[in-house]
Structure 1
Amino acid sequence: MNRSPLFIIFLTVFIDLLGFGIVLPLLPRYGEHFQATGLTLGLLMASFSAMQFLFAPLWGRLSDRIGRRPVLLVGLIGSAVFYFLFARVTQGGNTGPIYGLSPLMWLFVTRIGAGIAGATIPTAQAYIADVTDAANRGKGMAIIGAAFGVGFTFGPLIGAPFVPDDPAAGPSAAPGYVAAALSAIAFLWAFAMLPESLKRGAGLSRRAHWFDRASLQAAVARPYIGPILFAMFLTTFAFAQFETTLSLLTDRLGMSDRGNFLVFAYIGLILALSQGLLIRRLIPRLGEFWMGLAGVSLMTVGLLCLGWASGQHSLGLLLVVLPIAVVGFSATTPSLQALLSLNSGADEQGGILGVGQSMSALARILGPALALPLQNWSLPLPYWVGAGLMAVSCGLVFTLYGAARRPGRVPAG
């Protein structure tokens, strides 16, 4: 396994995700400042994932044709542009229309654009598939999760000082400018350091299309691919419910906005440590199947514990049980991604991984839509429902016994 490209892709994704980690915790309060209603705010928060759902297969299949490097570079510069626009809109405040659109509509534009630019994560996964062998695929895929974890740890920490202490103050534009600068730095780093990983002709062994529905439907019908994709959907759906309701949960438990930033940083730290230090070492020893099964089991238990903690209205208990669900998610994601990659052809990596990313994006659209009404009904209910979904995911992962057919992995079933 060539470690230099893995380090470069890790650093590229990490720097870009710092910006995402800065903006995401601020988005609900910025939306409220621009007079978004509850439904409109939900649509605003879902727009990013909606664009990922639509564009991830497109970017992935395009990268199978023209290479990973140009697609990744376009995504990075796009993120920088739309984070900069995000900052400009927030700096203008509620002063009236900007080029004929209200500030709230411009906020939608920035999130839609950032979602399109950020839909290149499956291309980064395909890059890893290009530079790793089968034995190290799961270990390599964990790098993306580690980049997410580290980005989510330091992103909120960087953004927290820019959050106004006065609840009545308007939003600061500084976090948007910082996020734009970080994505621009990631672009310059990748432009200078990131080599192309796709071997000449590797993505052209068959006639390729940007979004070949027939071939993707055929792939889903193949053994293992369908259950893997459905398990990815349920896992992400349950975790999206958790993410969406967490800030409201901490608010009901008496935590300030600044404290809520620290909770998100705490979650990011757990993700980074578990995937960067623990999961990457365990996957080569246990195999993708057993690591994935352990992950979905931990998520089931963790969400049950979160429901219990929220029912007890205990902040201390919440902080104690949070790592169970988070570590479970960090183990599940790279394991299922690796199984998906290992059961796809060499000329399908970008496209099939793009479908997996779209399934996750669809779950991130639908998960919050269900979670918020459930939480209004009962504080612990989203976590009980999430635990039930993860129990189904456990069954799906169990059917994957035999999906990794290599020495030292699960034997053929």
Structure 2
Amino acid sequence: MSAHPSDTVAPLQDQEEPVSITRVPDTIVIPVQQPERPKPTPLPKLQLFIVFYIQLAEPIASTVIYPFVNQLVRATGVTGGDQRKTGYFAGLIESAFYATEAICVLQWGRASDRLGRKPILLGGLLGMMLSMLGFGLSRKFWSVVLARCAEGALCGNIGVCKGMIAEITDASNMAEG
């Protein structure tokens, strides 16, 4: 038995044996008010599909050359017949896209804030299409590199697409956790 005065041993009315009552330390219970979850708004599925489709164009455009870039380097004659230099020049062609895209992508985001998302997305798709056409028609090594640089510089749609997704959805569409 404890020394606390409120702890008692007493038989209940229906029972003959005494029952021990243990005192629980005093605790303050603060009711937690659950924030109201906003009613989910329907997703604009067609708009999201179009934006995702535009986003898909960039990785395809950047990686479509991988299967044939080594053969293209050899066909331009830039290696001078030395097969060991093929990888170096193929790397220059492949990295030209990513280097120029890294430089220009933030400027495309800034331009989309000023001019609107749709004109920048359409201009980026048109620029990517024309630079891929230029890449396909190139026969000299440096014109191939220039076409890849133009493709990277004109293809800043990924950042613009992320901003567009944030604008067409709201807090009720976001995942929790």
TM-score, length basis structure 2? 0.63
Give the CA deviation at 1:12. 3.0
Among candidates 41, 50, 65, match of residue 90 of structure 2: 41
Distance in 1 between residues matched to 2:134 and 2:172, nearest whole Å? 43
Say yes or no: does 1:87 pair with 2:153: no
2:105 is aligned to 56
Equivalent residue letter for 2:157: T
2:56 is aligned to 14
Say yes or no: does 1:75 pair with 2:117: no
Give the CA deviation at 1:18. 4.1
Q: 1:7-406 maps to which residues of 2 (within 5 A)?
A: 7-15=49-57, 17-34=59-76, 35-36=78-79, 37=85, 38-89=87-138, 93=139, 103-137=140-174, 284=175
Q: Give the length in aligned residue pairs.
A: 128
Distance in 2 between residues matched to 1:15 and 1:124, nearest whole Å? 12
Bigger radius of gyration among the two: 2
Give the CA deviation at 1:128. 0.7
Deviations 1:41-96 (A, max 9, x none): 3222211111111001000111111111111111111111111111111xxx4xxx
Q: Are the counterparts in 2 of residues 51 and 119 from structure 1 also a CA contact under 8 Å? A: no
Distance in 2 between residues matched to 1:111 and 1:5, nearest whole Å? 29
Distance in 1 between residues matched to 2:71 and 2:155, nearest whole Å? 22
Q: Are the counterparts in 1 of residues 55 and 157 from structure 2 also a CA contact under 8 Å? A: no
Structure 2 unaligned blocks of 5 or more: 1-42, 80-84
Equivalent residue letter for 1:136: N
Structure 1 residues 26, 133: CA separation in 2 closer, same or farther (over 3 Å shift)? farther
Distance in 1 between residues matched to 2:90 and 2:137, nearest whole Å? 20
Equivalent residue letter for 2:170: D
Equivalent residue letter for 1:69: K
Distance in 2 between residues matched to 1:39 and 1:69, nearest whole Å? 38
Deviations 1:348-369 (A, max 9, x none): xxxxxxxxxxxxxxxxxxxxxx
Partner of 1:106: helix, strand, or coil? helix
Structure 1 residues 40, 18: CA separation in 2 closer, same or farther (over 3 Å shift)? closer
Give the CA deviation at 1:134. 3.2
Structure 1 residues 61, 78: CA separation in 2 closer, same or farther (over 3 Å shift)? same
Partner of 2:66: helix, strand, or coil? helix
Distance in 2 between residues matched to 1:129 and 1:109, nearest whole Å? 33
Q: Are the counterparts in 2 of residues 44 and 108 from structure 1 also a CA contact under 8 Å? A: yes
2:47 is aligned to 5
Distance in 1 between residues matched to 2:69 and 2:47, nearest whole Å? 33
TM-score, length basis structure 1? 0.29
Comparing both structures, which one devotes a greater share of its residues to helix? 1
Q: Are the counterparts in 2 of residues 32 and 41 from structure 1 also a CA contact under 8 Å? A: no
Structure 1 residues 27, 119: CA separation in 2 closer, same or farther (over 3 Å shift)? farther
Deviations 1:306-338 (A, max 9, x none): xxxxxxxxxxxxxxxxxxxxxxxxxxxxxxxxx
Q: Are the counterparts in 1 of residues 105 and 159 from structure 2 also a CA contact under 8 Å? A: yes
Give the CA deviation at 1:27. 2.4
Structure 1 unaligned blocks of 5 or more: 94-102, 138-283, 285-407
Structure 1 residues 131, 48: CA separation in 2 closer, same or farther (over 3 Å shift)? same
